[in-house]
Structure 1
Amino acid sequence: MQRIYHSLLFIVVATSLTGCFFFQKREVARWEIAPQGSTSFALSRDGRFGLLYATPQALLLWDLVANQPLAKLGPQDSQHSVVSHIQFSDNGRYAVTASQNNFAVWDLAFTQAKGLWSIADGVIRDIDIASDGQQILLGLSNGKAIFVNLVTGVRMEFLAHAEKVNSVALSANGRYALTGGNDHFAYLWDTKTGQILKRFEHNQRVVRVALQRDGTMAFTADGGNTATLWPLEASQETQELKSWSRQLIFSSARFSDDGSLLVTGSPSGEVVVWQTASGEQMERFSVEPLKDARPARAVVYDAAFDSQHRVISASSAGIAQAWPLEKDYD
């Protein structure tokens, strides 16, 4: 009887503890595009297209719905520079790719580059592109955030940051920029005037920022355990992401179209879906690690919500994976 009692007690305790954690969910689809791994991998906003850089393929555009390559774009430049940053425009028509010191803009409808530009006064740490494919935002190692209109030639240097700019986000129309840096600050600013509209302060360096596509919310995260959802409209409340982790380090962040959810990726291969109204964690997935890597893990470069109620992840393993969202979150 004592053994039976202890066994039942163990089952009850184990069941209770299990309820406190998220079950590891299985993927529902996988695309092994570059088995040797990739140095950068971005997804279109709807999760349909992926653009990655890997050797020896260089830049490769992939249709995840049709599960086939659309185009081999080749190297970014004649020096075959390693591409470390890729970003789709909000409408999916254009993409920008960047190495440490130059960047290229691609018209994906015609699968060709519109031009190559160099940066001489700093290392490119992050980049974004507007929906028209003409406006670019860069974060540099020298503390500058640079906004460029490639057609008019207008160039604005935002100099509010005192140290490296680690992460940038540009609104779809190119009018607003969000930048975060080593100086513990993130700034929302107007790209026409350079005026600071909002200032978000952290206790540590800001490593990740994101903008909701309709301009209702901003996200900033530092190198410690503070990740904040900031309302850009008066009716909303500021929310902190709630997690038991000692440290919240994000390699990617993206809002759902309606702003109700945020999906983040980490350098340790975790993909997490958060409810923006509460900051609560809703879903958690672990991506496939890079083959033969030690430790066995992959960096999540990007994640997006698709039309099939799934999260699509893209990682340094050169693999895209689809994960089910089992509930409708209000």
Structure 2
Amino acid sequence: MRLFLKPLFVTFVSIALNGCFFSNSDDQRWELEPSGTSSLALSRDARFALLYSKQQQLVLWDLQESQPLAELGSQDQQTSTVSRIKISDNGRYAITASQTNFAVWDLAWTQAKGLWSISDGTIRDVDIANNGERVLLGLTNGKAIYVNLVTGRRMEFLAHREKVNSVALSPNGRFALTGGNDYNAYLWDTSSGQALHKFEHEQRVNRVALHRDGKYGFTSDGGNHAVVWNLVTGEEIAQLNSFSRQLIFSTARFSDDGQMLITGTPSSRVMIWDTQNGKQLDRFETEPLKDARPPRSVVYDAAFDHHGRVVTGTSAGIAQAWKLD
């Protein structure tokens, strides 16, 4: 009996330490694109989804009404594959990007404001401010570029020594958080280019996120070092508490009050964290694309809706809403 109970006890403790089982019971779902998507973004309140697929190109959905709002078409005349999409914090504008160019869209009028090309590097990540005029790009050449599309002002942040993998821009466009292959993330001022804080990691930084009010920042690397920072002091608030050997995230977003953080992975997983102590509060397993091998989906984006649910959008072309325990 002792020999039987010991491994059973170890298994129970392991499950308890790592949180509850993944839940596959969603509260609502939207089949956006049956063939899957190569990129997708949600608005902060999870009402709108902008997605790209080769079959339909760019399509804007209203998840609250459960219907597509507009077919925006291709990003450029070459119908380049859109690999990155971000919607501004206020939900009015969006930026879409291929490897070599990007477009800005006015979602209220469902039309493009312009198309711009990048010649000195490949685009790795993008973000956009609330006025739709200020954008941030992370490039393979180690540059993080901030551009005012109206005035033409361009700021190149050159502190990174290798590829810039992930970028985040404050809603007013004043501050940027960037992370790269040089094991570092920087919070910097887009008006001066001055680095305000440097956050060091032991591996390549692959995901960063900013709290909308500028209280907190988040950085994570290719290992299991994922940290919530106080952006005023530059001090660590909490490390995400997980016994996984790797915590590789494909997306991360703070709740409006900053007390929770949603993360998604390239392997279907969505996790909710307490930002003050790093504990995992809940987690879910998103639906994979039908007949996909392996049966996984990349979580492109996640957000909290007005019902307090977590809404996810994935490479399977499916959006799902989840109730928190």
Q: 1:165, 1:244 → 2: CA distance?
A: 27
Q: Which amino acid aligns with 1:231?
A: N
Q: 1:108, 1:214 → 2: CA distance?
A: 23
Name 2:272's counterpart in structure 1. Answer: 273
Q: 1:111, 1:247 → 2: CA distance?
A: 39
Residues 1:256 and 2:255 aligned together: yes
Q: 2:322, 2:246 → 1: CA distance?
A: 24
Q: Deviations over 1:286-312 (max 9, x none)?
A: 000111111110000000011101000
Q: How does 1:174-189 map to 2 (within 5 A)?
A: 174-189=173-188
Cα shift at 1:23: 3.0
Cα shift at 1:19: 4.7
Name 1:24's counterpart in structure 2. Answer: 22
Name 1:197's counterpart in structure 2. Answer: 196
Name 1:50's counterpart in structure 2. Answer: 49
Q: 1:247, 1:120 → 2: CA distance?
A: 34
Name 2:140's counterpart in structure 1. Answer: 141
Contact kept? 2:39, 2:84, Cα under 8 Å: yes
Q: 2:236, 2:202 → 1: CA distance?
A: 20
Q: Deviations over 1:109-144 (max 9, x none)?
A: 000000000000000000000000000000000000
Q: Deviations over 1:38-78 (max 9, x none)?
A: 00010000011000001210000000010000000000000
Q: Deviations over 1:202-260 (max 9, x none)?
A: 11110000000000011000111100111123497521100011101000000000000
Q: Deviations over 1:168-215 (max 9, x none)?
A: 000000000000000011000000000110100111110000000000
Q: Deviations over 1:18-44 (max 9, x none)?
A: 555413331000001111110001000
Q: For residues 14 and 268 of structure 1, do their structure 2 counterparts lie closer, same or farther at Cα, with a shift above 3 Å needed?
A: closer
Q: Which runs of 5+ in 2 are unaligned?
A: none
Name 1:94's counterpart in structure 2. Answer: 93
Q: Secondary structure at the match of 1:174?
A: coil
Q: 1:7, 1:244 → 2: CA distance?
A: 24
Q: 1:56, 1:254 → 2: CA distance?
A: 29
Q: 2:124, 2:11 → 1: CA distance?
A: 45
Name 1:283's counterpart in structure 2. Answer: 282
Name 2:305's counterpart in structure 1. Answer: 306
Q: Which amino acid aligns with 1:121?
A: D
Name 1:132's counterpart in structure 2. Answer: 131
Name 2:151's counterpart in structure 1. Answer: 152
> Deviating runs (4+, > 2 A) in structure 1?
5-21, 233-238
Q: 1:235, 1:178 → 2: CA distance?
A: 12
Q: Secondary structure at the match of 1:167?
A: strand
Q: For residues 194 and 13 of structure 1, do their structure 2 counterparts lie closer, same or farther at Cα, with a shift above 3 Å needed?
A: closer
Query: Is the deviation greater in 229-238 or in 253-262?
Result: 229-238
Q: 2:124, 2:310 → 1: CA distance?
A: 26
Q: Which amino acid aligns with 1:23?
A: F
Name 1:105's counterpart in structure 2. Answer: 104
Contact kept? 2:187, 2:196, Cα under 8 Å: yes
Q: For residues 78 and 309 of structure 1, do their structure 2 counterparts lie closer, same or farther at Cα, with a shift above 3 Å needed?
A: same
Q: How does 1:181-260 map to 2 (within 5 A)?
A: 181-234=180-233, 238-260=237-259
Name 1:123's counterpart in structure 2. Answer: 122
Q: For residues 120 and 10 of structure 1, do their structure 2 counterparts lie closer, same or farther at Cα, with a shift above 3 Å needed?
A: closer
Q: 2:7, 2:50 → 1: CA distance?
A: 49
Q: Secondary structure at the match of 2:33?
A: coil
Q: 1:241, 1:283 → 2: CA distance?
A: 13
Normalization by structure 2: what TM-score?
Answer: 0.95
Q: 1:10, 1:141 → 2: CA distance?
A: 48
Cα shift at 1:156: 0.7
How high is the sequence identity, in percent, across the aligned residues? 63
Q: Secondary structure at the match of 1:238?
A: strand
Q: Secondary structure at the match of 1:122?
A: coil
Q: Which runs of 5+ in 1 are unaligned?
A: none
Cα shift at 1:325: 1.2
Q: 2:234, 2:176 → 1: CA distance?
A: 22
Aligned residue pair count: 323
Q: 2:8, 2:186 → 1: CA distance?
A: 51
Cα shift at 1:145: 0.4
Kindly name which structure, 1 or 2, has the bigger radius of gyration based on alpha carbons. Answer: 1
